[in-house]
Every structure is written in structure tokens, then in C-alpha cells.
Structure 1
Amino acid sequence: MMRDDHLVLLSAVGGVTRKLREGRGLTRRELAEKSGVSERFLADLETGQGNISLARLHDVARALGTSAGELLVAAQPERQEKRVVALVGLRGAGKSTIGKALAEKLEVPFVELDALVEKDRRLAREVLIRFLAGADEAVIATGGGVVTDREAWRLLQKRCTTVWLQATPEDHWKRVLEQGDVRPGAASPHAQEELRALLKAREPLYAQSALAVDTSRLGIPGAVEEISRRVTSR
């Protein structure tokens, strides 16, 4: 017998699929022909009765001009009480240091998303979806580029209290050096300028976070206190 939460998800995916199909002016028959699945199967999917495989969901999503990940993200309910805190920001923002201290203060688990996908970063979105599906409380340190993955970023915004850890370019660079960054290009004479340009390019995305905390002004302990105060008062 299927679990209740699985039934809820299937119903939500079906509803999103139906809205997209109707929004594109397609009949079920037309979508069935474009996706290669049967019209009966689509009817079951849209009414939440079809236990669709990821392969078939991919075919349907592609025919609708989207992706299976987008359908799953759109089907996720937005939590009214967001008890998972997701820290975002460029490397050197202090996500790991602040995340560990914040998790200890809030008495919740601390998770580094990059550590979960160390072997294959292409799996980051899938790992994030699975983690958030079962997480009630946690502090997550995300990768610096998570905001550039539209599906992953939308999911974080729906399911978590997102916190942008701001810092001056100088502090970002200082912390990167203190961390002993050995990635290719870190020793380049232009690396600091490249980091500054990357920060400027991503700032509009980071600014979409629910909260922003200036770690350069507050320092690490002050930032932990500020985030704790603001997330517990929401």
C-alpha cells in the first residue's frame, strides 16, 4: 500500500502537469503523442492515480517544455513554518563555520550539502530533494553556486529559511586564503578580481534570500546570534 505522503506528492505532480498542459493549450491526446505515453496513463497521472516512473515523468516534462525536476519542485508544498535554515553565499562567506555554531545553538543537525555530493556534483539537486523531503529541522551549508541552479534554488526558497551570508570582497578573499583553497585558479594573480566579479554577478540571486546577514560587520559570533534571533522570531 502506498504511503500517504507519496499519494499527496503524486496528486500534486498530477495537478502541476494538468495546469502546464492546459496552459500550453494541449489536449491529453496531443500531450500523449508528444511524450510517447498513453492517454489513459496521462489521465491517471493528472488525477494522482498513476505511480509514474522518473523516466516517464522526464518524457512528459520534456513534451511540456520543462524538466522532471521542475515538476517535482513545483509540486512541493511551501512550508508555513520553515525550520530548516539554508545558508547561502560565495565561498569565504563563513557558511561552514557559522553553520556549525548556529546548528549547535539551535540544537539541530548541521549538514554540508557539498559533502553529500562530493563524488558527483551533478547529483546535488537530487540529493537536496531527498534530504529536504525527510528533514524537519537542520542547518544546511550550501555550495556557492546553488543559486544558479534554478530548480535547487526554488526548492530551498520553498522549504527553508534562506540566509545570505554577506561579506566584503576583501573578507571573502581573506577567508578563502585562510581555508587553504587549493582549487585550480586559486593561486592565479587574477583570482581576487575573479572572485569580486563572481560575487557581483551572483548578488541579485543571493539577494532573493529571506534574510541577509552582514558577517563582515557582525563577525562570526555576532552573525550566529543575529541569525538565531531572526529565525526563531519568524
Structure 2
Amino acid sequence: MIPPTDSDLLPGLGQRVKLLRARRGMTRRILSEEAGVSERHLANLESGTGNISVLVLANVATALDCSLAELLGDETTASPEWLMIRRLLHGREPHELTEAYHALSDLFGTAGAAQNRRHRIALVGLRGAGKSTLGQMAAAELGVPFIELRSEITRLAGCAPVEIQALYGSNAYRRYEREALEETLLTHDACVIATAGGLVGDTATFDLLLHTCFTVWLQADPEDHFNRVLAQGDQRMMPGNRNGVDDIRLTLESRASFYAKADCAFNTSGKTLEEAFAGLMTLLREQTRDAVI
């Protein structure tokens, strides 16, 4: 095996850091603070020009809540069993990996949690896709509670998600997010849940959502995401800011394979609110005929 050179190792490392950061919804400033690494150093690392020390890289991995092996591009080398599983799954087609995932879920007892999952509808996707607006309308139409997961996180923590991140870090926010979801699942047998866009950043929480709810990926074009968030008053989204659209595009790229695990997808771009709502309800009725609809 030919060892990687700086010409492909550093750019690849930088891209993985950037994608992991985007997947978890962390700004470079937040990652800088949690990893104890300057923003300039992180910028060099993400651009593929920074030759970073192993100790600093380990701090970055900790802040991103991933293993150093994952950051370096390796999957796992924890045990002989993991290596054999890797060998068995390596090179398989996506549909084969899906079958393997479901088989393992059945083996380890997660299937039971899915028995009534179609009574709970969870909307996933990036901010600006319409989760809150369409979720409230769908819940009213179905006569079930609407749960805004970010509001539940705020209630549990006693402060807004942005304050949780600033005061305690992103890992603390993920713990509150998990607790909010678990409490929602315990309290409501039927409901519509609007999740935060970065929920996929914690694979364990996302896996719980997939196994206990009927999930819909609300999609939109990057420009629509940008304009809708801008209309919500987010000052980070300035009119004509191409970097903002590019950031959204990168975040979508980093999360798309996770969002795609949802039971189905619905694109809200190019539709009026009424058209999007009608289309979503038609999709839900087709997909959950034996549930709450």
C-alpha cells in the first residue's frame, strides 16, 4: 500500500474537519473555543495547508465528538470483531448496507420500538425547509400535538440552544437534545415533531428518531434555505451574501446522506405554503395509511 502524501492527506483531513463541523452545526469560532485552537489555525487546517500536531488534532476530534481515527479517515480499529465487520461490509452496495443495518437492528432489539412509530411524524432537514410552519399545520390537521424540539430543549435547560452552546458547549447541547427527544417519545404516542437541523450530528439520537418515528426529510434549494432564514431575521444571513449560500450548500452536503435515511422526502422549493402543505399531507396519507391519518 502506498502511503498518502501531504498533497492528498492534508486536503482530505481539512475536508473531513469541515464536513464534521458542518454536520454538527458548529461554527469555526465555537470549534476554536472548544478545541483550544486558534481560528486561524483551524482555517489553515480546513483549507488543507495547515500541518497540525497530533495533540492539537486530538483536541479537535474531542470537540467534534468523534474519534481521531474517524477524523483521519479510518473507520474503526477497536477490535478484531470490528475489523471483520468492516471487511464483510466493505464494498457493499447501499441497499445491501441498508439490509445489514436493519438486520442488526432486529438482532439487538430496536425493532420493538418501531411498532407504533408511524403514529409519530418527525420532520428533519436544514433550517428554512419549513419544518416548524408545516409541522404546526400538519399537527392541527391531524389533531395531534405539535412538538418543537428546540423549544423542549430550552424548557429543559432553562436557556436557549445558542446559550447552551456558548455556556456549556455543543456536547452539552446534544445531551439536552437527546433528553428532549426521549421525553417527547415517552409522553406522546402520537404527535408531529419538528427537529433541529443539526440533530443528525449525534448519530445515536438520530438512530433513536428513525426507529421511533415516521421521518420526512423536508428539502429545499440552498437559495431558498438562505432566503427563508433571512426572512426569519437571522442577522448572519445578509442579502447578497454568497458565502452564506455556500455555507448552506456545504452543510447540506455534509448531512444529506443522514437526512436520506428518512422514510421519505418532500421538496418545498417552488411551492406556495398552501401547495407545500397540500403536497405534504398527500404524502403522509399515502405513507401512513394505518396510522394517525
TM over 0.5: yes
- Which amino acid in 2 is paired with 1:152? T
1:55-77 per-residue CA deviation (whole Å, 9 max, x = no partner) reads xxxxxxxxxxxxxxxxx994862
Superposed displacement of residue 147, structure 1: 1.4
Match of 1:160 in 2: 213
Q: Which residue of 2 aligns with 1:224?
A: 277
| Secondary structure of the corresponding residue to residue 217 of structure 1 | coil
Structure 1 residues 73 and 147: CA distance shift in structure 2, 3 A? farther
After superposition, the CA RMSD in angstroms is 2.4
Deviation track 1:20-51 (CA, whole Å, cap 9, x = no partner) reads xxxx7xxxxxxxxxxxxxxxxxxxxxxxxxxx
Identity of counterpart residues, as a percentage? 39
Give aligned pairs, total: 163
Structure 1 residue 186, shift from structure 2 partner: 3.8
Counting only pairs closer than 5 Å after superposition, residues 13-162 of structure 1 correspond to structure 2 as 74=110, 77-80=113-116, 82-118=118-154, 119=159, 120=164, 121-122=173-174, 123-162=176-215
In the alignment, which of 225, 228, 239 is matched to residue 175 of structure 1? Answer: 228
The change in CA–CA distance for 1:186 and 1:73 in structure 2 (over 3 A counts) is farther
Match in the other structure for 1:209: 262
After superposition, give the CA deviation of every residue in 1:162-217 in whole Å (9 maximum; x if it has no partner): 011110111111101100014xx445762221111111211111111101001003
Deviation at 1:142, TM superposition (A): 0.5
Find the counterpart in structure 2 of residue 63 from structure 1. none
- What stretches of structure 1 of length at least 5 have no aligned partner? 1-23, 25-71
Cα distance in 1 between the residues matched to 2:117 and 2:244: 40
Question: 4+ runs of 1 displaced by more than 3 Å?
Answer: 72-76, 185-189
Point out where structure 2 has 5 or more consecutive residues left out of the alignment: 1-80, 82-107, 165-172, 289-293
Q: Is the CA contact 2:110–2:211 (under 8 Å) kept in the aligned structure 1? A: no
